[in-house]
Amino acid sequence: MGAIGVLSVCVSMRYALHTSGLFRAGSSVKRCKELRKSFDEGGFPEFDSWDILTSASLLKVFLRELPGGLIPEPHRTQLLKVLPEEHLNVLCYLMFFLSRVAAESHLNLMTSKNLSIVFGPNIFQ
């Protein structure tokens, strides 16, 4: 629930795509821990619409800490054929969102290169 829940929050935040340094700028560590704890306990916490950077940081944490990564080593060569459905759904949703982020790179400074630097290690562990 964690990764897809946080991803859905990020996608739904109206101003996220225009936030400069999205996925690179720091956020409130305390708030990030509170939100994570709520997700870990099976809840779906309320996010403040202005707290975009915390949501972005939390998304990176969930992706980084997925056991084996979003795309585990054994699945990389035949990626779409053997990827578990749950992982494929998250990957598709993430790619949709990141393409929207990259399209607004003139405002948020997150080019496709910057996004690959931030997300590559989190997706391919």
In this prediction, residues 105-116 reach a mean pLDDT of 90
Query: Where are the domains positioned within the chain?
Result: 2-123
pLDDT per residue over 9-46, tens digit each?
Answer: 666 766 677 778 788 887 878 888 888 888 788 877 77
Contact between 71 and 123 under an 8 Å Cβ cutoff? The reply is: yes
The pLDDT assigned to 11 comes to 67
Compute the distance between CA of residue 58 and CA of residue 70 in angstroms, rounded to an integer: 15
Is the per-residue pLDDT at 98 higher than 80? yes
Among 48-62, 82-96, 103-117, top mean pLDDT goes to 103-117
At 11, give phi and psi (nearest 5°): -65, -40
Q: Which fold has domain 2-123?
A: Phosphatidylinositol 3-kinase; Chain A (1.10.555)
Q: Looking at residue 3, what is its pLDDT?
A: 62
Contact criterion met (CB below 8 Å) for 71 and 83: yes
- The rounded mean pLDDT for the chain is 79
pLDDT over threshold 60, residue 106 = yes
Reply yes or no on whether the pLDDT at 1 is more than 50: no
Q: Is the dihedral of CA 13, 17, 70, 57 positive or negative?
A: negative
Q: Residue 75: what pLDDT?
A: 62
